[in-house]
Structure 1
Amino acid sequence: MHAPVLNRQTLFSRLKDNSAVLVKSGEELIRNRDVEFPFRAHSDFFYLTGFSEPDALLLMSKIDGEERTTIFLRPKNLEQEIWQGRRLGVESAPATLQVDQAYSIEELDEWLPELLIGSEQLLVSFSDFSEWAEIIAPLIEQLKKQVRKGVDSPTTLFDLDVLLHEQRLIKNHREIELMRKAAQISVQGHLAAMAVAASANSERTVQIALENAFYQHGAQRVAFNSICASGENACILHYTENNAPLQSNALLLVDAGAEYHGYAGDITHTFPPSGKFSTEQAALYSLVLKAQQAVIQMIKPGVLYGDLHQTTLRILTAGLLDLGLLKGDLTTLVADKAYTEFFMHGTGHWLGMDVHDVGKYKIDGEWRPLEVGMVLTVEPGLYVSDRHQNVSAKWHNIGIRIEDDVLVTEKGCEVLTAGLPRTVAEIEQWFVEHSHK
C-alpha cells in the first residue's frame, strides 16, 4: 500500500466522527529578489500525501462515518511549467495521490466551506495557528451565514499535532525501510569525508565530498546544514560556516545527514585527519564513546527516555573527574551540573521526517518509556575550548561528539547508522588501510 495512504488510514482511525483535518504543503520563499529557496513540503503534509508541490492543501473529512480525502493543488499551466517545472495538475491528482477528489487551489474559497458542512471539530496544527487563522476565520463566518439553511459550522478547534505528531513518532515498517536507507546513505557520506580529510586543505573540501556522496547514493537533499568543524570550531555546537583551513593535528567534527524520500539521517563523527589521535584527544574521545555505547546498550522498550541522559551525565562526569578536568565528589558534581562546562546539550532527540522529529518526550510531566518503532539519536559530546582557563592548555580546542541513529525494536534496538569505525583503534587503523588509496 502507498505509504501516505496507510498513514491517512491510521489518522482516520483516531479521528472522532464529524471531524475534518486541514494540512498545508507550504509556500515557496524568496531568497533574494526573484530567486526562491529550494522548496520542501511541510513534513506533516508529505507524510499524509507523498506530494511535494507548494501551494497545496489536504482535507481529510470524517462525516457521518464517511471518510473522504480531498486535495487542493495548483492547476496545470503550460507557461508556468515552461519556466518553473512540471505540475501534477488537478486531473491527475486523484489517481496519482490515491485521494478521493481534487480541486484547484484557486477554488479553495468556493469548495472548502461546502466540503466542511457537517464538521463539528476542525483540526489544524497549532504550531502554525497564525497562518490557519487567516483561512479559518472567514470560513467559519461564511458557514455561520448559512445557519437558516440548516448548516452548522465547526464549534471546536483541536490541535492536530496532538494526534499526528504522536502517530509520526512511532514509525511503521515502510518508514523504517526509508530510515535505514537514509542512515546508510549518511554513513557513505561520512566515509567519503574521512577519505578526503587527510589531503583536504579546508573544511569546505570535506563538506563537498560528504554531500557529493549523499547525492551519489540517492539522497534528494541534506537533512540539515552540514557541520564540518576543525579544531576550536568543533566547540561551537551549530558551526556551519565550514570555511576555515583544517588545523594540523586537530580533530575534525562532522555532523551531517542525508534526506531520503523525506526521512533524515543524522550522524556525528569525530576523527583526526592526520590519522592519529593525541593522548588527550584519545582520552576524551574514548570517554564520549563509552557514554554513547552505554546508552545504546540501554535502549529497549520500557526504558524511560530521561534515564538515557542520566547515564550519559554520570559517565561523562566520572570520566572528567578521572582525567582531572573536574575536581570533587562525583555525586555532588552531577547534582551541581558541573558537567555543563563541557557538555551542555541533551543525549539525543527523536528522528524521522524532521531531524529533530515530533512527538512528546514527557507524558503528564514524566519521562515517557521507549516503544517499538521509535527512532532516536544518541549523541553525547565533550567540548573543551580555550575559554576553560581552569583547565590545562593541553586539553584546549578539543570538540567531540559521537552520534548514531537507533531504532527501538521488540528485543532491544538496532543501530541504523552502523558501518563507521568508532573506537580510537578502529579509526586509526582505517586511516592506515586507506592511506594508499
Structure 2
Amino acid sequence: MDKKFFQLTFYNILANLTVPLTGLADTAILGQLETHTFLAGVALSNVLFDYLFWGFSFLRMSTTGLTAQAEGNRNITESFQILIRSLVLASFVGFLLLFLKYFIGEIGFSFLQGEEEVKASGYDYFHSRIWSAPGTLCNFVLMGWFLGRSKSGIVLAATILANVSNFLLNIWFVLYLNWNAAGAGYATTISQYLMLLFFLIPLAKERIRFREVYDKIRIFSLSGFQSLLSLNSDILVRTLLLITTFSLFRNYSSGLGSPVLAANAILHQLILVGAFWIDGAAVATETIAGTLKGNRDFEGLKRILKLGIISGFAISLIFCFLFLGFSERMFAVFSKSKQVAVLAQEYGYWIIPVLLLGSTAFIFDGFFLGMSEGKTLRNCMIVSSIVFFLPIAYWGKLEASNHILWLSLATYMFGRTLTLGVIAYKKFFLRKMFN
C-alpha cells in the first residue's frame, strides 16, 4: 500500500504541478504588458469560470471514487457504466453552457465588481474561453476514470500536453499577436481539446475490456443516473461553496483597487501551486481509499488516512520553505508594476498559514471523496464557509483591510480541517465506517 501511495502521489504531483505552473506562466505573460488591466480582467473573469468549470469538477471527483470502488470489487461492467454515464452528463452540461454563453456572460459580469476597463478585458477572456466547455468537462471525467484505475501516468502525460500547449499558445497569442486577454482565453480553449484528443488514445486501448462487458452495460439506467446525480449533487454543493468562498475573497479584493486585486491574483496562483502539490497526496489517498472501501478493508483505510495526512503536511512545509526563499524574485517576474510586486510581497506571508492549515483539509477531502461520502463533505463545507470564513471576510470588506481578508482564508482552512477531522474521528473510533 505504501509503495502504491507514494508512486501515485509522485505521478499526481507531476500532473498537478503543470496546472498551476501554467496559470503562473499566464499571469507572468499578462503581467509583461504595459498595464495590469488585462491581468486583473482575467482574474475577474475567472470568478465566472470557477463556477462554470470547477463547479462541475465533481465529474472528476465522483468518477474517481466510484471507479476505484468498482475496480476494488473487480466489477468491470460498473467501471465502464460510470465512465459512459459521466461522459453523457459532461457533454450535455458542456453544450448547454455554450448555448447559454451570452446570457451567462451578461448576468455574471453584472454582479462582478471592477473598473470598466478591467471588466471589458474580462469579458473578452470569457467569450474566448467559454468555447472549451464541452472539452473541459469531458476531460474531468476521463481524468477521474483513469485516476480511479490508478493510471496516473496517462493523466500526467495528458496534463503536460495541455498545459505546455497552453503556455506556448499564450506566448504567441498574447505577446506576438497582441490579442491580450482574449488570446489567453483562446490558448486555454485549444489546449483543452488537444488534451481530449490525447485521452482518446489510451481509451481506444480499453476496447477489449469494453467488448467483454458490452452486453451487460445499461447506460441509461434510471437508478444508475439517480445514484450518480445524488452523489454529484452533494459534491456540487460542496464545490460551489468552495468556489463562492474564493470568489467573495476576490470580489472583496476588487473593492480595494485593481493593484490589490492583481497582487492577490498572483498570490492566489501561488496558493494553487502549493494546493496542487498537496493534492497529489490527496488524490492518491482518494484512489486507494476507494479501492479499500470496495474491499471493505477498515484497517487499510485507517493507515492510508494517516499516511496521507503526514505526507500532505510535509509537502506543504516544503512548499512554504521554497516560497520564503524565492518570493521576492518571483513577484518581480510576475509583474512589471512595482506597486503590484510590493503589495504581493506585503501580503504574501499569508500563504504559509493558509497552506499549512489547509493541507490536512485537502487530504480529508480526498479520503471522503474516495469513500463517496458526499454528504459529509457538503455539511462540513457549509459550516466552514458560513461560520469560519464569511464573518471575517465581511469584516475585512468593511474595514477595507486586505490583511483581514487573508485572515478569513486562514480561518476557513482551519474550519475545514476541524470539521472533517471530527467526522473522521467519529467514524474510526465508533466503528461506523461501513454503516
With the shorter chain as reference, the TM-score category is under 0.3
TM-score, normalised via structure 2 length: 0.26
- TM value normalised by structure 1: 0.26
Q: Indicate the structure (1 or 2) with the bigger Cα radius of gyration.
A: 1
Flag the structure with more relative contact order, 1 or 2, with Cα contacts below 8 A and sequence separation at least 6: 2
Higher share of residues assigned helix: 2
Higher strand share: 1
